[in-house]
Amino acid sequence: MLEIRTLTKRFGDTPSTAPVFENLDFVLNTGEYCALMGESGAGKSTLLNIIAGLEPTTSGTITLEGQALDANIDDAVTLFRREKLGFIFQAFHLLPYLNVFENIALPLRLNRWTEEKISARVTEMLASVGLGDKRASLPRELSGGEMQRVAIARALAHRPRLLLADEPTGNLDPDTALQVLELLRSEIRRNNTTAIIVTHSEIAARTADRAVMLTRAGLKPRLFS
Ligand SMILES: Nc1ncnc2c1ncn2[C@@H]1O[C@H](COP(=O)(O)OP(=O)(O)O)[C@@H](O)[C@H]1O
Ligand SMILES: [Mg+2]
């Protein structure tokens, strides 16, 4: 379970600057797949970055399966985050000098898996994202959809408990976007991974268990008729 309590984020130190959001409360059950929507500038990326520990909070708490998870706490949670979190970015963020295999192996190396386990797991992930024949390719030799499939495999290889995806299909054409979302959904279902996907697409959001909208008034359920 992911639990966010009275979370406030303000950039800069002065209390006079308007917060990006204030006193957010949000609970996501284990295995729940949630779409996060909201206008550009609403704070969606900021929220994901805070959950991922890439950005400090101003106040409030975040816990994943009972363990505190924000950047303010530091060292003790770094290992926990590395083990429990997966992140997918809009711009893929693959490492350009590493081939597909090594990009997917990265989180496993950080988590000190053995070479034998890494080889087996990366091969398995390559097959499940349909890129078995691309293991030796470099990112620049791939299409956008293929790069995002590599990013999905990398984000999920270490079986994280929480997947955060920031507009993962924002740079893809609509057909490829749908395929990538389908793949993402089946992969997180398989491991009962809790997930938050930022998307502007109502079609994408409808495939989630739940959709929420980040506005100046806070996080509200986004209902579809
Ligand atoms: N590093 C930063 N320093 C100052 N302001 C920032 C920073 N990052 C984001 N912001 C501001 O925070 C607000 C939310 O941004 P962001 O989280 O990127 O929104 P979204 O992802 O919903 O489009 C915006 O007003 C943006 O300008
Ligand atoms: Mg954003």
> Is 179's C-beta closer than 6 angstroms to any atom of ligand 1?
no
Mean pLDDT of 179-184: 87
**To which residue do tokens 């990398």 refer?**
154
> Is 43's C-beta closer than 6 angstroms to any atom of ligand 1?
yes
> Is 42's C-beta closer than 6 angstroms to any atom of ligand 1?
yes
Kindly provide the residue ranges of all beta strands, DSSP E only, lying in 76-186, ordered along the sequence.
85-88, 162-166
pLDDT for the residue 107: 93
- Which has the minimum average pLDDT: 24-33, 78-87, 117-126? 78-87
Report the separation in Å between the CA atom of 138 and the middle of ligand 1, taken as the mean of its atom positions.
32
* pLDDT above 80 for 97: yes
Virtual CA dihedral for 72, 76, 80, 86, nearest 10 degrees?
Answer: 40
* pLDDT above 90 for 71: no
Residue nearest ligand 1's atom 8 by CA? 46
- Is the CB of residue 152 less than 8 Å from the CB of residue 176? no
Handedness of CA 97, 100, 104, 108 (dihedral sign): negative
> Is 86's C-beta closer than 6 angstroms to any atom of ligand 1?
no
* pLDDT above 80 for 73: no
- Delineate the domains of the chain, giving CATH numbers in brackets: 2-221 (3.40.50.300)
Report the separation in Å between the CA atom of 215 and the middle of ligand 1, taken as the mean of its atom positions.
13
> 20, 55, 89, 197: which to mutate for ligand 1, most atoms within 8 A of CB?
20
Put simply, whether the predicted model's pTM sits higher than 0.85 gets the answer yes
* pLDDT above 80 for 15: no
**To which residue do tokens 């697409």 refer?**
201
Mean pLDDT of 92-101: 95
